[in-house]
Structure 1
Amino acid sequence: MPTFKNAKIFLGTDANHFASAMNITDGVVTHVGETDEVTDPDAIDLHGKTVLPGFVDAHTHPKYIADALHGVACTPPAVNSIAEMKTALKNSPAYGQGPSVWIEGWGFDESNLAEHRSPTIDDLDDVSTSQPIFIYRSDCHSSVGNSKALELAGIDANTPNPTGGVIGHFPDGRPNGYMKEVAATQLLIQAKSAQSYLADVDNMAKSSDHYLTNGIVAIGELMGRFRPYDSLQLYQDARTDGFKPKTAIYYVFNELMPGQVVKPTTQEDLRIAGIKVFMDGSISGETAYNKQPYPDGKSGVLLTNADRLKQAVWYASEHHLQVAIHAMGDAAIQLVIDVTADLTPWLDDRPSIRIEHASLLSDQMLKELNRARMNYALVTQPIFFFAEDESYRSYLNQAQFKNAYRIKSMLNSTAMLALSSDAPCTPWAEPDNPFVGIYAAVTRKAANQDVVNADEAITVPEAVLAYTNTGARVGGFTHNGQLRRGYAGDFVVLDQDIFTVPTDKIKDIQVEQTWMAGEKVYQKGD
C-alpha cells in the first residue's frame, strides 16, 4: 500500500488539476491530495518530480514492434541509401545464424533513400540468398523480401495478386520482391510467423521493457489475426512470460472466415475490443484514397467499398464490437462519414467507430462529424507529419496539405480525440516515443524543422490528456488514463516537468519510473 508525496501529480481529469500526494491500495488509487496530509512515515518522496497517468498508445502494432526491436532500423539518420541498408542488414545479429533465421528490417521510405527507389529482391539477395530477409516499408503496409523469403511464401512469377494487394514484378515478369499493401505483405508475414511461433512469443515478452521505458502501460493492437495463429493466444503466452502492458486487440475484418464470430471480452489486462477495417493505404506510399490526385495522376487505392464497410459496421453492431477504420485520404474519410454518420451508436462506454489517422480533414467534413448521430473517435498520429513532412509536401497540393493533421480542429469537434503512434509504421527510430508525439502536436514542427499548419497546435495539457485520459476512453481502458480514486495505480515519473520546460525540449524528456498497479516496473538506469 504505497503512499507518494512531494510530487506534481497531473490527475488527467482535465487540463488544470494537480495534487502532490497519492495513496495506492491493492493496485488502485484510493486517495489523492496534498503532501501535508501524509502521515505515513514510509511514504515515497518523489522530490517534486512530475507524475502523469501511464500513457495509452491506442493505435500501435506490438507484434511488428516486437519484430522491429530485434530487427534493423532502415531509417535516417543511420540508413540513407540502399547501400547503407545492405550494410546495416549484414550487421544484424540474425545475419549468419542459419537458413531458418529471418533477417528483418523496418522503416525505409524510398523518398528518403539516395537512390529514390525501393530496394528490390536483387538488392536483398546481395545480403543473403540462404537466409530469408523481410523489410517493412515505413507505413507497414508494404514490404520487400529476398528470394528466400518469396520461396518460403510460395511466391513466383505466376502467383496471382491477393485481393487488395499487388506482388511487384520486373519488366521481364520476375517478382521484384516488393509487396504492395497489407494483403500482399501478409503473404511474407504468414510464412515468417508460421516458422517461428515460439520465437514470436519470446520477442513479444522481451518487448515489454520497450513500452515501460516509454511509460506506456496500455496498448491497442490494431492488427489482430487468427492466422497463422490467434493473436489472443500470442498475448496470453507472452503475458505468461512477462509481458506487462494492458492490451486491447482489434482483428482485421477482411481476414475473418465466412461465418466466423468475434466476441468481445472484458478482462482488464487483455481483451478482444473490436475489428479493424482498411479503407486505403498511406500518403507517403501514394496509396491513401484522395479526392484530388497525386502528382502521378493517381488518386490512391480504395480497399473497402461502401457495401463492404456497411457489412463490417453491421457485424460490429451485432457482436457489440468497436470498429477501428484506417482512413488517411480525404476521399476515404468522406466515405466513412457518408456510410456511418446517420447510424445509431451501439456502444455507450466508448465511441462505436474510430477513424484511424484522419490525416486529411476539411472544414465540411468536420461539420458533418459534428452533426452526426454516430459517436466517433479520431485517433491520429502527429509522428507522421513530424517524420514524413517531405513526403506530404511532395504528394499533396497546397489545399490538401492545409488539411493535414488538424489536431486542434479534431479536439474542438464532437469526436473524441486520442493521440497515438501507429508504431513502427513511420520512418523514425523512436516511432512510439510519446514525448515526440506530444512535441509535434504542441509545436507543429517536423524533424526537419518545417512548421506544419501552425494554427492546428494544441497545448501541452491537451496533448497529455489525448495520450492518457481520452486515449484510455477511446480504447476502452476504463480504469486507466486518470489518477483519481478507483483508477489503476498506473503512472509515470518524468525526469523533467513537461508543463514548464521550453516546448522545443519536450521531445527530450524521458521517463524516470513507470509504475503499474502500485508496483515499480521500470527504473531509468537499472
Structure 2
Amino acid sequence: MTSFINGKVFTGFGNKFVSAFTVEHGEIVWAGDTADVNDDNIIDLNGKTVLPGLIDAHTHPKYIADALHGVACTPPNVNSIEEMKAALKNSPAFGKGPNTWIEGWGFDETKLAEHRSPNRDDLDQISTEQPIFIYRSDCHSSVGNSKALELAGIDENTPDPKGGFIEHFSDGRPTGFMREVAASQLLIQAKSAQSYETDVTNMVNSSTHYLENGIVAIGEMMGRKQPYDTLKLYEDSVAKGFKPKSSIYYVFSEIRDQQVDATEGDQLRIAGVKVFMDGSISGETAFNFDKYPSGNTGVALTTPERLAEAVAYAKQHNLQLAVHAMGDAAIQRVIDVTKDIEPWLADGIPSVRIEHASLMTDDMLNQVKDAKMNYALVTQPIFYFTEDESYRQFLNSKQFKTAYRLKSMIDSTAVTALSSDAPCTPWAEPDSPFYSIYAAVTRKAANDDIVNPEEAISVLDAVHGYTDFAAQVGSFEHNGRLLPGFDADFVILTDDIFTVPEEQIKDIRVEQTWMAGNKVYSK
C-alpha cells in the first residue's frame, strides 16, 4: 500500500479535487485530504498537479508507430516538395536496400510552396530502388514512388477500389497519389505484408511515446483483417512490452462477412466496428450539403442502407458503432439512420459514436439531444488548430460557423470526448493532449487565427474530454477517475494546467506517468 500526499489531484468526477490518495494492488482504495493519511509508505507530490491517466479515444497507433520511425513532412520544418525530398533523403531508412521502405507523414498540399501534392516522379528523385510511402495529413490519402506502386501491383490498368481513387497523369500513368482510405490501403497492405515483425517492433517502440504524453489508453480506430489481424498485432506487441490499454474498432467492410464479437479485457479488447461516411475537409472529400469552391460536394462513402447494415451487425455482436463523419451531409445521414433506434449497449455506454462531428448545425445538435439513440461525439480540436487555412479556403462562412462546436456539443448532453486522430494532421506533435486542450480553451489556431470563439470550453471540461468523458466513450470502465475502485493510472504534470495562463497550456508536459500504481515513465 502506498499513499501519495500533498498534491493537487483532479479526481475526474465533476470539479472534485483532493490532495492525497492511496494505492493498493494497482487500484485506488482511498482519496481525500493529506491530513488524514497515517501510512508509513508515502510519496510526496510536492504540490504537483495530478490527473487521471489520459485517454486518446480516437487514434491510429499502427500509423503512429510507422510515423515515429518515419519522416515528419509537416511545418515548420517541411514547407515545400523540395524540402520534403531533402528530409526523406535524411531518413534513417535511406540507403538500406530494396526491402526497406522509406516512410513519411503529414504533408498538406495547401501548405506546400508548390501548392500541389508530391507525385511518383518527385519521389523517384529520392530513390527508385527503395519503396517510398508518405501519408497525407488526413491519413485518408497517400503517395508512393514507382517502386511502391510496383510492389502493390498498381499500373495504368489497375481499377479504382470501391471508395478510393488512383490518380493518373495525362499519359495514363498513375501519379502515385492514392485518394481516400480504400486506395491508400493498396500501398499499406504491400508495405505491411513485407515485414510483420517490423510492425510489431514499431508498435512496441511507440509505447514510450504514449506514456510520455500521459496517454494510458487508446482507441484503435482502424482495425484490419488484411494483410493480418490487428488483434494479433496488438497481442504480440503487448507480449513484448506495449503498455497502453487498447480498444480495437474494426473497419466494417473487412468484417461484415465474418463473426467478430465484442470481447472484454482490461489491457486489450475488441470494442466496436468502424464505418466511413466521407473523407476530410482539408482534402475536399468531406460530404457536405453546400459545394466546395471546386463545385464538388465531397464523397459519400456509405449509403443509408449499408449504414443500417452496420448498425444491425453492431447490435448482433454487442459492438459499439463508430462512424467517421466530417461533413454536415454525412453527419445528418448518421443521425437520420440511427436516431430512432433503441441503444443496445449496457451501462450507459454510447451505442453510436460520431467521429469528428466537424460541422454541426443547431438543428443537428438538437436532434442528437432529443434522439432515442445515445450518442457520443468524438472530436479533434487539433484539426482547426493546424488546418485553419484549409477550412477557411474550402468552407463558406455559414459552414465555418458550424465547425468544431465544442461548447454546443457538451450542451447537447452527448458524451463529448477530445482526441487526436493522430497522426492525421499536419503537426509535428499530432497527439499532444496539451495542444488539443489549448485549442479547445483558446480556440486559437497555429496561425493565430481565432476559430469560432463562442465555442470555447473551460480547462476543466477539456480535461474531462481526455479523462472520464473519454473513458465513457471508449468503455474503459476502470479508467478516467482517481477514486476508489478505479485503476491507479495517473499522470503528474510539470505545471498546473488549471491555473497557468491559457497561452502556456500547450507547453505543459508530463513529468511522470503511472499505471496500476507503478511508474512507467519519468521525464
User: What is the TM-score of this pair, normalised by structure 1?
Assistant: 0.99
Residues 135 and 141 in structure 2, CA contact (< 8 A), matched pair in contact too: yes
Return the letter of the residue paired with 1:235.
Y
2:444 alignment partner, SS class: coil
1:484 alignment partner, SS class: coil
CA drift of 1:415 comes to: 1.0
1:371-411: per-residue Cα shift (whole Å, max 9, x none)?
10000000000000000000000000000000000000000
Return the letter of the residue paired with 1:398.
S
Equivalent-residue separation in structure 2 for 1:74 and 1:86 (angstroms): 9
The aligned runs of 1:19-168 (5 Å cut-off) are 19-168=18-167
Equivalent-residue separation in structure 2 for 1:229 and 1:60 (angstroms): 19
Correspondence for 1:320? 318
1:113-138: per-residue Cα shift (whole Å, max 9, x none)?
00000000000000000000000000
Unpaired runs of 5+ residues, structure 1, are none
Equivalent-residue separation in structure 1 for 2:39 and 2:25 (angstroms): 17
1:285-307: per-residue Cα shift (whole Å, max 9, x none)?
00000000000000000000100
Correspondence for 1:305? 303
Equivalent-residue separation in structure 2 for 1:347 and 1:322 (angstroms): 7
Equivalent-residue separation in structure 2 for 1:280 and 1:63 (angstroms): 21
Correspondence for 2:514? 515
Q: Say whether 1:239 aligns with 2:252.
A: no
CA drift of 1:174 comes to: 0.4
CA drift of 1:2 comes to: 1.9
Correspondence for 2:7? 7
The aligned runs of 1:180-191 (5 Å cut-off) are 180-191=179-190
Equivalent-residue separation in structure 1 for 2:473 and 2:520 (angstroms): 25
CA drift of 1:83 comes to: 0.1
**Counterpart pick for 1:280 among 264, 278, 281:** 278
Instruction: Name the Cα RMSD after superposition.
Output: 0.6
1:480-500: per-residue Cα shift (whole Å, max 9, x none)?
000000000000000000000
- Share of identical aligned residues, percent? 68
Equivalent-residue separation in structure 2 for 1:336 and 1:414 (angstroms): 18
Q: Say whether 1:217 aligns with 2:216.
A: yes
Unpaired runs of 5+ residues, structure 2, are none
CA drift of 1:414 comes to: 2.3
CA drift of 1:42 comes to: 2.8
1:207 alignment partner, SS class: helix
Return the letter of the residue paired with 1:337.
I
1:388 alignment partner, SS class: helix
1:472-524: per-residue Cα shift (whole Å, max 9, x none)?
11000000000000000000000000000001100000000000000000000
1:140-160: per-residue Cα shift (whole Å, max 9, x none)?
000000000000000010000
CA drift of 1:40 comes to: 2.0
Correspondence for 1:353? 352
CA drift of 1:3 comes to: 1.2
Correspondence for 1:291? 289
Equivalent-residue separation in structure 1 for 2:39 and 2:144 (angstroms): 59
1:221 alignment partner, SS class: strand
Equivalent-residue separation in structure 2 for 1:63 and 1:140 (angstroms): 12
2:484 alignment partner, SS class: coil
1:480 alignment partner, SS class: coil
Correspondence for 1:479? 478
Return the letter of the residue paired with 2:259.
V
Return the letter of the residue paired with 1:89.
L
Residues 2 and 39 in structure 2, CA contact (< 8 A), matched pair in contact too: no
1:181-229: per-residue Cα shift (whole Å, max 9, x none)?
0000000000000011000000000000000000000000000001111
Equivalent-residue separation in structure 2 for 1:256 and 1:42 (angstroms): 50
Equivalent-residue separation in structure 2 for 1:2 and 1:300 (angstroms): 55
CA drift of 1:255 comes to: 1.9
User: What is the TM-score of this pair, normalised by structure 2?
Assistant: 0.99
Equivalent-residue separation in structure 2 for 1:100 and 1:348 (angstroms): 48
CA drift of 1:419 comes to: 0.4
Q: Count residues in correspondence.
A: 522
Equivalent-residue separation in structure 1 for 2:392 and 2:374 (angstroms): 32
The aligned runs of 1:316-465 (5 Å cut-off) are 316-349=314-347, 350-465=349-464
1:323 alignment partner, SS class: strand
CA drift of 1:257 comes to: 5.5
